[in-house]
Amino acid sequence: MHLKPLPPQPIKIGISSCLLGNRVRYDGGLQQDHYITDTLGKFFDFVPVCPEVECGMPVPREPMRLVGDPKNPRLITIKTKIDHTERMHTWAAGRVSELEAENLHGFIFKAKSPSSGMERVKVYDTNNVPQNIGVGLFARAFMDHFPLLPVEEDGRLRDIFLRENFIERIFIYKRWRDLL
């Protein structure tokens, strides 16, 4: 009796939905990253996530930004000053739990996004002065929930050394998970 080897399991990567060309941005515009879709897409299965749309915000929508304490910022719309912080925190807590079932091996975030930026997101102080020291609300919840998962953002993937490092970390993480 011959046993057939199991087919290789896909390598699933979570990704900010806009990077796949989905029209989920605040202005309804395109933000597709062709390196991600055309090159990395040959090797990875993507699990798209758009925090704003998934927590119930429309497309198009008023732009938002992070305001206040960089360690615990508020997610506020720019013109009308509507605070979406609690809405985003509640949704993000549930979504990261749901993502456990996806067996992700990494995540690619949208740079500079107040919900999905991994680092150096602008946080505006009480004088309306920005500092590039924040983390998007969903990105923070995700990274706190999955501290060992390789993460990167689209802008940093243009750096060949950071890109190579990220891809290597994904394959190392997959091998480690397969051993477990």
pLDDT > 70: percent of the chain: 96
Q: Is residue 6 over pLDDT 70?
A: no
Query: What is the C-alpha separation between 172 and 54, in angstroms, rounded?
Result: 31
User: Which whole-number Å values give the CA distances from 121 to 15, 31, 54, 158, in the listed order?
Assistant: 17, 18, 21, 18
For residue 110, tell me if it sits in a domain. Answer: yes
CB 111 within 8 A of CB 86: no
Please give the tally of structural domains in the chain: 1
User: In this structure, is residue 43 part of a structural domain?
Assistant: yes
Beta strand segments in the chain, E: 12-16, 45-49, 64-67, 74-77, 104-109, 121-124, 130-134, 151-153
| 72 within domain boundaries | no
Do the domain assignments include residue 35? yes
The residue range of the domain holding 173 is 12-62+85-118+134-179
| Share of residues in the chain with pLDDT > 90 (%) | 92
Q: Residue 61 carries which side chain, given as an amino acid letter?
A: R
The pLDDT tens digits for 76-134 are 999 999 999 999 999 999 999 999 999 999 999 999 999 999 999 999 999 999 999 99
Question: What pLDDT score does 9 carry?
Answer: 74
Residue closest to 14 by CA, chosen among 92, 86, 89: 92
CATH number at residue 149: 3.40.50
